[in-house]
Amino acid sequence: MLMQAAQAGDARAYALLLKKIIPRVRAMIKRQRQFLPAADIEDLAQDVLISLHAVRATYDPVRPFMPWLVAITRNRLVDGARRYARQKAHEVNVDEYPVTFSEEGTNTDGDLYGDPDALKQAIQALPSGQREAVQMLKLREMSLKEAAVASGVSIGALKVSVHRAMGALRKALSKE
């Protein structure tokens, strides 16, 4: 009933449905992947919710809901295991990273940008839409959805703005 209402666009019914199924999805994942840490179980639960949302049109209101949910959960678990196996196949465990060269440049922890002032100036020089997109998505690390809500700009437009802004920054900083 709740899923049928959710398919019709009833946000309250959908919220209630998701609230009810989250513990069940977690329990299903825990039962089948007992060895996983809690954070990985949450990741898989989120995978299931995102997938369920994407294919919610495949639920047939005349058929029971639980087999539909269980089928998606199991499928995402199998997919997750496949992804994990693929990642592991390309990983090499090492006790210590070998130092290739003794020079300081090759042994720094990260690629830090050397001139924050130039970066600030380059950001200020961007058109306002691109500047806001960079500030929200890159500096404040907001999600696309959150940034879209905060700015009133669509997700697609934000993606375009940030992509153009990054291109402009790269160009501006490489000139200097």
Partner 1 sequence: MDTERLAEILTEDARPVRPLPQPWVRSASWLAIAFVSILVVVYAMSPRADLAVKVTEARFLIEQFGALATGIAAGVAAFATTIPGYSRKIFLLPAIPLALWLGALGQGCISALIQYGPSGLSLQPDWICLPAIVLVGAIPAVAMAIMLRRGAPLFPHVSTALGGLAAAGLGNFGLRFFHPQDASLMVLVWQFGSVFILAALAGVMGRYVLNWRSVIKASPGSAAVE
Would you tell me which residues interact with partner 1 (CB under 8 A)?
Answer: 6-11, 14-15, 18-19, 22, 26, 42, 45-46, 49-51, 53-61, 63-64, 67-72, 75-76, 79, 143-145, 148, 155
State the burial class of residue 89 (Cβ atoms within 10 Å of its Cβ: 0-12, 13-18, 19+): exposed
Nearest to 150 by CA among 163, 131, 137, 164: 137
Report, in Å, the least distance between residue 92 CB and partner 1.
26
Cβ proximity to partner 1, 70 vs 172, nearer residue: 70
Residue 126 burial (CB count, 10 A):
19
Cβ proximity to partner 1, 49 vs 173, nearer residue: 49
DSSP codes joined into one string, 108-130:
-SS---S-HHHHHHHHHTS-HHH
On whether the CB atoms of residues 131 and 124 are closer than 8 A, the answer is yes
Report, in Å, the least distance between residue 75 CB and partner 1.
5
The runs of H, that is alpha helices, within 8-143 are 11-32, 38-54, 65-89, 116-124, 128-134
Report, in Å, the least distance between residue 77 CB and partner 1.
12
Report, in Å, the least distance between residue 21 CB and partner 1.
9
Report, in Å, the least distance between residue 68 CB and partner 1.
4
Cβ proximity to partner 1, 39 vs 92, nearer residue: 39
Cβ proximity to partner 1, 147 vs 169, nearer residue: 147
Cβ proximity to partner 1, 145 vs 171, nearer residue: 145
DSSP state of 57: G
